Amino acid sequence: MKVIAQYGSPDYFFTGYFRVNETSRLNRSILASITENDTGRPVFAQMIGESIPDLVRTAQELCRDNIAGVDLNMGCPAPRVYRKNVGGGLLREPEKVERILAELRSTVSDRPLTVKMRIGFDNTDTFYEILDKINRHNIDLLSLHGRTVKDMYHGEVRYDLIAEAVKRVDCPVLANGNINSATNAQEVLSQTGAAGVMVGRWAIANPWIFNQIRQALRGEIITPVSLVEVRNYIDRLCQTPNSAAIPVRSRSVSYGESRVGYLKMFLNYIALLVDAEGHFLRLMRKTQTEVELLNLCDRFLLGDSNENFALAPYSKI
């Protein structure tokens, strides 16, 4: 959050999710993004779990801090998550969703209660039923990813179903899924009628995206970002205090737990906007040491100060 904020914050942030179960306690590093928030933007605290008493307990604990609201994750597509019937796994049990929303709405009464979800688990059979439960329990904001849980991050994003949700629920809807450029965001907003967009992975690739979206919506020419600025951004990622200790679940297994693995996790996305042929991406993945990796960044990003970062990912990489 702090790094993104230096390049242009979104209107508000959502934390990484707090895992909730009968033995859970608030994750200190995630909690710090709330208690040490100096971005100037509101922060919503996201929870993931299925135990109603423990979700209620955790929501009460979170509301003691300066959070903008509480968000329930019903969309995480990771198999290790949904197999525990949490995240996207909840979409298989509409009646359980009903009970959770009812209890959380009673608990979170002094600030917004929001939901992040997908259009279904492996199909859209429960989609409209769950939207009606969103309405019944007066959810304040819905962030909707236009794929099923089983789709993960592949395949078509069903923006048509996001448009259906906009018509069906009373609360504002944020469109989510492949929002990878300002132009794309503008098109999705026009197509869906959503109140806004939620950007996840592509904010890692391009932390300037939020300002670029604002420029596009105002009808302004989007300010280009030089590759030199991108190289400086990579340095900031290197200097992030917890960079060497990022949780294993957030990393690609093939990269392990090293700082090189940490940087490659980000560079996998950044590289898609560097060169149309994908040379940087392929060479980056072959590097073995941090020195080798950063030297490669210098070679591609500092070679020509007049070259700019692409405004959208190159499609043929």
Rounded Cα–Cα distance for residues 20 and 275 (Å): 42
Q: Is 69 annotated as a binding residue?
A: no
Helix (H, G, I), strand (E, B) or coil at 18: strand
Rounded CA Rg of the chain = 20
Q: Is 78 left (phi over 0), alpha (psi -120 to 50) or beta?
A: beta
Active-site positions read 76
Distance of CA 138 to the CA centre of its chain: 23
Q: Does 46 carry a binding-site annotation?
A: yes
Q: In angstroms, rounded to a whole number, what is the distance separating the alpha carbons of residues 114 and 237?
A: 29
* C-alpha to C-alpha distance for 242 and 255, rounded to whole angstroms: 17
Cβ count within 10 A of residue 31: 17
- DSSP three-state, residue 159: helix
116 among annotated binding-site residues: yes
Distance in angstroms (rounded) separating the CA atoms of residues 174 and 293:
36
Beta bridge partners of residue 70, listed in sequence order: 45, 113
Determine the distance from the C-alpha atom of residue 173 to the mean position of all C-alpha atoms in its chain, rounded to a whole number: 15
88 labelled ligand-binding:
no
DSSP-derived letter for residue 112 is -
Check if the beta carbon of residue 179 is closer than 8 Å to that of residue 187.
no
Write the DSSP symbol of residue 20.
-
Q: Could you give the CA distance from residue 196 to residue 205 in angstroms, rounded to a whole number?
A: 20
Q: Is 136 annotated as a binding residue?
A: no
Q: How far apart are CA 317 and CA 208, in angstroms?
A: 21
In 3D space, the residue among 171, 168, 136, 139 whose CA is nearest the CA of residue 71 turns out to be 139
User: Residue positions in the annotated binding site?
Assistant: 46, 116, 145, 200-201
User: Residue positions in the annotated binding site for FMN?
Assistant: 46, 116, 145, 200-201
